[in-house]
């Protein structure tokens, strides 16, 4: 018996910002991940976001005490998950969109501030079709900053 040739998705283990933008539609100032690493298609990956004081959100959240908003941490998890879906389903350059369907059990454990390197560990709980379910943990220096379980739907335009 011969082994099947690896799929394009199986060959991708990381994605820089250029590849991320080929998969998800988000752009500055709302693209919240800088890269994705440790990709296991259909299973898990780790998104990375370098939190900088120069981000526009810190003008208002909060003057004198900048804190990266929890909702943006959850969005960064979602963007990491959407990138994983795109890699898994070979959606680069396909104009696919992944939409939130629900968020469960979101918890915030630690503030994220300028200078932090946010690691977004996402794991597929259910997926492979149009509806996916994920577990995400946002980590800073090995500490959980936030965690959530959430669902998303993939919309892929016809070719």
Q: pLDDT higher for 83 or 128?
A: 83
Residue 104 CB-density burial (10 A; 0-12 exposed, 13-18 middle, 19+ buried):
exposed
What integer pLDDT is reported at residue 6 of this predicted model?
46
pLDDT of 5 over the 60 cut:
no
- CB-based contacts of 59, cutoff 8 Å, min separation 6: none
What integer pLDDT is reported at residue 10 of this predicted model?
57
Instruction: Please name which of 34, 40, 36, 33 lies closest in space to residue 11, comparing C-alpha atoms.
Output: 40
**Domains and their CATH numbers in the chain:** 8-155 (3.10.129.10)
- For 66-104, the pLDDT digits (tens) are 999 999 999 999 999 999 999 999 999 999 999 999 999
Please give the positions annotated as active site: 61
């Amino acid at each position: 018996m011969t082994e099947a040739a690896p799929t394009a998705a199986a060959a991708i283990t990381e994605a820089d910002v250029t590849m991320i933008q080929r998969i998800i539609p988000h752009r500055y100032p709302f693209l919240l991940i800088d890269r994705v690493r440790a990709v296991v298609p259909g299973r898990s990956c780790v998104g990375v976001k370098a939190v900088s004081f120069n981000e526009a959100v810190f003008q208002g959240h909060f003057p004198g005490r900048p804190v990266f908003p929890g909702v943006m941490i959850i969005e960064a998890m979602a963007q990491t998950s959407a990138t994983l879906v795109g890699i898994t389903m070979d959606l680069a350059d396909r104009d696919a969109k992944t939409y939130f369907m629900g968020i469960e059990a979101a918890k915030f454990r630690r503030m994220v501030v300028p200078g932090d390197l946010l690691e977004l560990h996402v794991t597929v709980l259910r997926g492979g079709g149009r509806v996916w379910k994920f577990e995400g943990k946002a980590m800073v220096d090995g500490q959980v900053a936030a965690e959530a379980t959430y669902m998303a739907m993939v919309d892929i335009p016809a070719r």
